[in-house]
Amino acid sequence: MFGATETPYDLRFRALGIPVRVHPLFWVIMAIIGWEPENLPVVLIFVGCAFLSILVHEYGHGLTAMRNGAPASIVLWGMGGLCYNDTSRQTPGQRLAVIAAGPGAGFLLCGVTMMTYSALFGLTFSDHLAFITQLARQPSEIGPGLRKLEYGLHAFNPRFEIYWDLVQINIVWGVLNILPIWPLDGGRICEIVLTRFSPYQGRRWTHVISLLASGLLAVAIFTYTHSLFSTIFFGYFAFMNYQMLDSIHRAQTMGIYDDDSGR
């Protein structure tokens, strides 16, 4: 996979009993996503926040898998993060818990960030809500708590950048990750649930839903934001699910298809 193979330049470490490997392309892709021309500090802060957020997300998967008796390992690669664990040792309920723990950990990190800024700078719940919903559109309407931070949209402030990046990444990426798009967490949850209803057709239904959802999202992103990277990202998922549907159709035609992924 893109940026998942081992290289001599990988960053490796072990924490909380889980080995972690970071591929060099992870840093490159995150820098491209957070690129700000002529503003290297902003890019570096975004890369650091993305690293922390994705690592916390994958540790949510990994620690939950280990609690269920399955060893885990984490890879941060060109397309984000992967947590490897032995699903054959898990019941469907345990698998659901492992998958849901990833976005859950990200949302928890977002909450911890908000509580930390409330404790340090006196922000209220209304301030956080105003920051999230109105900062980009109407910065003059941000509440008094945020004004205490003396942040400005045009002046670099590390505290502002860290807060905004951690909140944005863990909310926006977290919500996108739980959409029913395979192989994202929401798509894998969809697969487990649907294969419980129909072990034979569950995977096919999952990829049909994922193809429609990712395709429509790619079109919507391009139409309303013109973000080429995000359009390609979800367009790639649509293509992946089309390929999966094609392989399932061929296997069914040949009479060799046996979907036991929900058992």
Domain boundaries in the chain?
A: 1-178, 180-263
Between vectors from CA 158 to CA 153 and to CA 160, what angle results, nearest 5°? 45
Length of the chain: 263
Residue 69 φ/ψ region, left for φ over 0, alpha for ψ in the -120 to 50 degree band, beta for the rest: left
Are the C-beta atoms of 71 and 85 separated by less than 8 Å?
yes
pTM recorded for the entire structure = 0.85
Both structure tokens of 29: 């892709």
- Tens digit of each residue's pLDDT (9 = 90 or more) over 225-256: 777 888 888 999 999 999 999 988 888 777 76
- Tens digit of each residue's pLDDT (9 = 90 or more) over 141-189: 445 545 455 444 445 578 888 888 898 899 888 999 999 999 999 999 9
